[in-house]
């Protein structure tokens, strides 16, 4: 036998063994997340049996995240579960968001994007401006302030990770910023659905816009939107709060392409007087690749709706509706698993080391973005009915 053939066979076997090893390492954490998401369903049913009023005021997604937080913080999770939990937080979450694209046509997505672009720019600007003022007032380092501003205004943890190399942020500063974004993002996930509906009395469309612009991370926006829909789904509009919130968040995510390099440039220029020392990174590190999948599923929905409207003989209206509804349901199942992983992965013990000044800066940034979003939504209310 040719030695080269033996070498090729061994390399193929080695590759398959590595893949098998990686899959096996993911299984424990993934199964734990699945069990928690299923447990939340039965836990809610038990609460409804005991107290119908309380149970109906709690969504399955909310309970999924809470159960994940409780288990992840009260018990020592063995290291063998970590790869699967991280897989849920990153890969499974993105898969769920991609599948959510089937809920929208490209026309609806474009309309939401165009109507929300100005709102997104205003909220990003408010977050960056207020954070800069508070950071300067509190005497926080410029690097940490830049990280908090990026995480609050644009894309949560993803923005922090993207900008860290460009400003030479230390691991400690990056961890601090991630902790702050996690702290206020988890609070917003739980509180904002109730705030928009029960306190601010916003409509479904307005609530979606508010959550999409005021909550930090994509996972948190998704969780809040689904919580709202499960409690107060509005049959009078064809767009749900989650549809709008996630689409608006995608628009925010796109601004990473412009804002991250700009913040890096301004920080380095201020600190060194020489903006030429800014580290360049590939654009793909700023671009949310799963956005392509989200838009592709909207394209599938658009093409499908067009074919059905033209009474294509190979697919009836009932078949197409069944396909779309089943994919919507699967998207929510997948997102429930991902969000249970988010709960498991959120460790409040890590937040103890933050100190009061970074927390105040994060709080000020979160409040400023929320206020800017609410005020502008009220001003734009007459135009939003076109959705």
pLDDT exceeds 60 at position 268: yes
Query: What pLDDT, on the 0 to 100 scale, is given for residue 116?
Result: 85
Each residue of 121-138: pLDDT tens digit? 888 888 888 888 888 888
With a CB cutoff of 8 Å and minimum separation 6, the contacts of 341 are 29, 33, 68, 84, 85, 86, 87, 88, 89, 92, 93
Q: How far apart are the first and last CA of the chain?
A: 68
What integer is the mean pLDDT of 77-105? 89
Question: Using one digit for the tens of pLDDT, what is the confidence trace for 174-222?
Answer: 888 888 888 888 889 999 999 999 999 999 989 999 999 999 888 889 9
pLDDT over threshold 90, residue 319: no
Is it the case that residue 280 has pLDDT exceeding 60?
Answer: no
Q: What is the pLDDT of residue 122?
A: 87
Query: 27 burial class (0-12, 13-18, 19+ CB within 10 angstroms)?
Result: middle
The band of 315, judged by pLDDT with boundaries at 50, 70 and 90, is low
pLDDT > 90: percent of the chain: 20
Residue 5's pLDDT is: 56
So where are the chain's domains?
Answer: 89-384
Identify which of 381, 82, 19, 28 has the alpha carbon closest to the alpha carbon of residue 205. 381
Higher pLDDT, 283 or 106: 106
> What's 237's DSSP letter?
-
DSSP H helices in the chain: 3-50, 52-56, 60-74, 82-87, 93-100, 106-138, 142-150, 156-163, 171-194, 204-214, 218-232, 241-254, 256-272, 290-309, 317-345, 356-384
- Checking if the pLDDT of 278 tops 60, the result is no
Contact partners, residue 205, CB within 8 Å, separation at least 6:
237, 239, 241, 244, 384, 385, 387
Cα 72 from chain centroid (whole Å):
20
What is the spatial distance between Cα 101 and Cα 94, in angstroms, rounded to a whole number? 11
Using CB atoms within 10 Å of the CB of residue 9, give its burial: 0 to 12 exposed, 13 to 18 middle, 19+ buried. Answer: exposed
Q: Can you give the pTM of this predicted structure?
A: 0.84
pLDDT of residue 386: 59
pLDDT above 60 for 284: no
Nearest CA to 153 out of 222, 215, 218 is that of 215
User: Which helix (H) or strand (E) element contains residue 203?
Assistant: none
Contacts of 220 (CB under 8 A, 6+ apart): 156, 185, 186, 188, 189, 342
For residue 240, give the nearest of 118, 38, 61, 46 by alpha carbon.
Answer: 61
- Tally the residues of the chain: 387
How far apart (Å, rounded) are the C-alpha atoms in residues 242 and 372?
20
Across all residues in the chain, what is the average pLDDT? 82
pLDDT digits (tens, 9 = 90+) for 371-387: 989 998 988 877 766 55
349 or 220, greater pLDDT: 220
Q: Kindly tell me if the per-residue pLDDT of 308 is higher than 70.
A: no
pLDDT of residue 273: 58
């Amino acid at each position: 036998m040719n030695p080269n053939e033996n070498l090729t066979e061994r390399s193929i076997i080695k590759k398959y063994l590595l893949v098998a090893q990686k899959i096996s390492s993911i299984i424990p954490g993934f199964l734990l997340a699945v069990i928690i998401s299923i447990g939340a369903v039965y836990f809610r049913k038990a609460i409804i049996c005991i107290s119908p009023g309380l149970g109906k005021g709690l969504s399955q997604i909310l309970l999924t995240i809470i159960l994940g937080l409780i288990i992840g913080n009260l018990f020592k999770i063995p290291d063998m579960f970590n790869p699967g939990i991280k897989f849920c937080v990153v890969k499974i979450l993105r898969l769920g968001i991609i599948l959510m694209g089937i809920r929208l046509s490209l026309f609806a997505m474009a309309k939401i994007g165009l109507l929300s672009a100005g709102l997104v720019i205003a909220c990003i600007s408010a977050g960056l401006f207020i954070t800069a003022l508070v950071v300067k007032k509190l005497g926080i380092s410029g690097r940490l302030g830049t990280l908090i501003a990026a995480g609050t205004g644009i894309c949560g943890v993803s923005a922090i990770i993207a900008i860290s190399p460009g400003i030479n942020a230390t691991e400690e500063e990056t961890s601090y910023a991630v902790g702050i974004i996690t702290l206020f993002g988890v609070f917003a996930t739980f509180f904002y659905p109730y705030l928009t509906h029960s306190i601010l009395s916003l409509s479904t469309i307005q609530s979606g816009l508010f959550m999409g612009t005021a909550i930090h991370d994509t996972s948190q926006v998704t969780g809040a939107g689904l919580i709202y829909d499960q409690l107060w789904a509005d049959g009078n509009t064809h767009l749900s709060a989650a549809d709008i919130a996630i689409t608006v968040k995608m628009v925010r995510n796109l601004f990473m392409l412009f804002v991250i390099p700009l913040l890096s440039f301004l920080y380095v220029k201020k600190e060194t007087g020489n903006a030429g020392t800014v580290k360049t990174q590939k654009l793909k590190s700023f671009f949310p690749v799963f956005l392509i999948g989200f838009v592709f599923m909207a394209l599938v929905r658009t093409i499908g709706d067009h074919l059905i409207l033209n009474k294509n003989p190979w697919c009836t209206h009932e078949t197409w509706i069944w396909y779309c509804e089943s994919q919507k349901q699967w998207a929510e199942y997948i997102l429930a698993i991902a969000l249970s992983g988010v709960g498991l992965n959120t460790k409040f013990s890590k937040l103890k080391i933050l100190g009061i000044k970074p927390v105040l800066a994060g709080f000020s940034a979160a409040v400023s973005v929320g206020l800017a979003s609410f005020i502008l939504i009220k001003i734009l209310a007459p135009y939003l009915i076109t959705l």
